[in-house]
A and B are shown apart, each in its own frame.
Chain A
Amino acid sequence: MATKPRQGATAVQGAPARPGAPATPGATATPGATAEGPQQLSACADELLGLLRADDPDPRVIEDFCPLHECLEWALLRAYYDQAGAGAFTGGDVPFAATSSGQLSEDAAAILFASLETAPSSDGPIRCLELGPGSGLFAKLLLDDLRRRCREHRRNYYDRITLVLADSSSAMLEAIAATSLLAEHEGHYELVHSDQPPARSEEGLRAVFLNYVLDSLPASVVRRTDTGIEHVCVRTCLAPDIALESYTSLSLTQVMELASAPEETSKRRLAEIYPALVVDVRYEPVLPDELPLGGALEGILPAAAGESVVHGHGAIACLHTCAERLTPGGFLLVNDFAYSRRDPSAPERSPYQVYGGALAIGLNFAQLEREADRWPDISVHAPGADEKLVSRLIGRDLDRATATSFAERFDPARLQARRAPRERAHRLIDEQRSGAARAALAEALSLSPGDWTLHEEAASFLAYVAKDRDAARTLACRGLELNPLAPGLWNVLGDCELHARRPRQALECFEHAVQHNPREVRGRYNAAYALTALRDPDGALRMIAEALALDDGSYRERILAKQARILERIARRREGDKDRIRDRARPWSS
């Protein structure tokens, strides 16, 4: 079965998306629709139907088939980040813990420190860059760690550093500024609104960090055929049975006009109808020269026809620009996920991934390495394969110490050894062996003291399973020092405060959780408990209503049960009040 590019979407490879939609000559049909026999007849019938209805275009098509990197989805990607802000991450839509837990930043800081140790002696400024800083958490934790190392080894690198955080979404940068996440590092960072790496500066860049960002740059998905190559094209339609007026005040004609407007800002106005859109995907013939950086296709196409690969022209261009900005001895550190080749005989799947409203395509690391190897003075360093995250160090005239630091830090065996106690704790929790699980979590924390996700996990275990709330509170506080934006940590801390009969402090914690994730359900549900303890049933009911409105169903039962208990309590209080008033009047009436 073909998978859906995003919820509610239809992934189609060359087959009509819906009755009446024209089929694509020469394209491969949806898996299952290409089999011989009745399905083949059905495909022929659909094609005939398509020809008969060729003059009757589907009125729900918002944008006809166009190359993946030019389609409406790409234009709406930035609109999504503009709307969601840091909530894209704290709300759980876009995975970010793998790059912002504190472990990657610690490793990155170690490599940067090693690199600076070999740099020519100087008291000049050190400029580094993070492209697509997201929540700003990686930057915060990187600077934390670098400062700690500099104090420990009496170096002035932290005093000299400016970390430039560049993002194409101004809303994301405003969100970073609004959270005060980097307040401690004032004077050591700059926020820059830019689509591109900042212009070449006199001092050049010592390090560039690219975490889960190259995957959101324009790319094509291509495959070889018997006669040439094809690339993925996408058509965007209104979902069937959708009432457009439920999503926007724009008419269908206005929506069409905005979708076909050449400038991206017009297209981005369609973000409000994103959930009402579905996409059809198919391969269309293309010449290499018609694709951006078509020359980079050379040598990357699989020998076998049908097997698709990513042509990451956006990622190549970005890396090239960044590499040109490096000082001698400087490096790019890339951490991302890889596009995994699909066996042509395996079930069809979406050529890209969607997180919330953000589109991403796994990187073709082989292509990136091949291209980077051609750039003067540039070398690419790859550790062994790690299944969690793919990392590459791309250096300009890189010294041995920096390369060695990278190799050691990203050695798969080391990474696995660091993960092992945590994974053991998971197994022990499942086996309900609390004591052993606690010991394993303690070991994990000793190996990764800067990982706030581990602090959250351990604090939750201590609070709710081991019921050691003092220890849970300590860990939650320590975790919040690392990541003050984590709703989960605020919730655990709030629960500890509730148990300690400090409902006002608990409420403050739950309010933090809601502040950092506007779609936070658990924080609102928890706030209802704190407000109940503060004898504010009206406020508690308001929180319940908000939680219900935001909930995807996972909290529904418990929210409704809590609501029932609050209502019962209100009714009981009113009944008691009535009785007392009546009893008070009784002596006078008798």
Chain B
Amino acid sequence: MTDDKQEHDEDELVQDLEIKDAEEAEKITGGAGAPLKSDQIKYDS
């Protein structure tokens, strides 16, 4: 593989991981903690 191609692949991986990290970071919010069985009761009522 040429150096150019390797560098291109590397750039693509970096871009890919940036996209992925941004997606995961979006999912990290305060949240309500671990789900409980009683949550469904609250939801239902």
Query: Interface extent on A, as a size class?
Result: 35 or more
Verify B36–A389 contact, CB threshold 8 A. yes
Q: Known: A3-B44, A97-B35, A353-B41. Contact between A430 and B17, CB under 8 A?
A: no
Q: Name the CB-closest residue of B to A390.
A: B38
Q: Is B3 positioned at the interface, with any CB of A under 8 Å from its CB?
A: no
Verify A362–B37 contact, CB threshold 8 A. yes
Query: Cβ of A467: which chain B residues have Cβ within 8 Å of it?
Result: 21
Verify A347–B33 contact, CB threshold 8 A. no
Q: Is B23 positioned at the interface, with any CB of A under 8 Å from its CB?
A: yes
Query: Cβ of B17: which chain A residues have Cβ within 8 Å of it?
Result: 495, 498-499, 529
By the criterion of a CB under 8 Å from any partner CB, how many residues of chain B are at the interface? 26
Q: Is A130 positioned at the interface, with any CB of B under 8 Å from its CB?
A: no
Which of B9, B13, B28, B35 counts the most A-chain CB atoms under 10 A from its CB?
Answer: B28
Verify B37–A212 contact, CB threshold 8 A. yes
From residue B4, how far is it (CB to closest CB) to chain A in Å? 11
Query: Cβ of A426: which chain B residues have Cβ within 8 Å of it?
Result: 29-31, 33
Verify A495–B45 contact, CB threshold 8 A. no
Query: Cβ of A212: which chain B residues have Cβ within 8 Å of it?
Result: 37
Query: Cβ of B31: which chain A residues have Cβ within 8 Å of it?
Result: 426
Q: Is A388 positioned at the interface, with any CB of B under 8 Å from its CB?
A: yes
Q: How far is the CA of A3 from the CA of B43 in the complex (A)?
A: 10
From residue A569, how far is it (CB to closest CB) to chain B in Å? 7
Query: How does the 8 Å CB contact mask read for B10-45 relative to A, with 1 for contact and 0 for none?
Result: 001100110111011100111101111111110011
Verify A101–B40 contact, CB threshold 8 A. no
Verify A429–B34 contact, CB threshold 8 A. no
Q: Name the CB-closest residue of A to B8.
A: A572
Verify B36–A337 contact, CB threshold 8 A. yes
Verify B16–A353 contact, CB threshold 8 A. no
Verify B30–A430 contact, CB threshold 8 A. yes
Q: Name the CB-closest residue of A to B45.
A: A349
Query: Cβ of A362: which chain B residues have Cβ within 8 Å of it?
Result: 37-38, 41
Q: How far is the CA of A427 from the CA of B40 in the complex (A)?
A: 23
Q: Known: A362-B38, A535-B9. Contact between A529 and B20, CB under 8 A?
A: yes
Verify B36–A532 contact, CB threshold 8 A. no
From residue A523, how far is it (CB to closest CB) to chain B in Å? 13
Q: Known: A349-B45, A535-B9. Contact between A95 and B34, CB under 8 A?
A: yes
Query: How does the 8 Å CB contact mask read for A119-136 relative to B, with 1 for contact and 0 for none?
Result: 000000000000000000
By a beta-carbon cutoff of 8 Å, the part of chain A in contact with chain B is 3, 92, 95, 97-98, 101, 212, 215, 336-338, 340, 342, 346-347, 349-350, 353, 355, 360, 362, 388-389, 419, 422-423, 426-427, 429-430, 453, 460-461, 463-465, 467, 495, 498-499, 501, 526, 529, 532-533, 535, 558, 561-562, 565, 569
User: Across chains A and B, which 10 residue pairs bring their CB atoms closest together, nearest first?
Assistant: A426-B30, A97-B34, A430-B30, A337-B38, A464-B24, A464-B25, A95-B35, A349-B44, A337-B37, A353-B40
By a beta-carbon cutoff of 8 Å, the part of chain B in contact with chain A is 9, 12-13, 16-17, 19-21, 23-25, 28-31, 33-41, 44-45
* A and B contact pairs by CB, cutoff 8 A, 21 listed: A92-B35, A95-B34, A212-B37, A215-B37, A336-B37, A340-B38, A340-B45, A355-B37, A355-B40, A360-B37, A362-B38, A388-B38, A419-B33, A423-B33, A463-B24, A495-B20, A495-B24, A498-B13, A498-B17, A529-B16, A535-B9
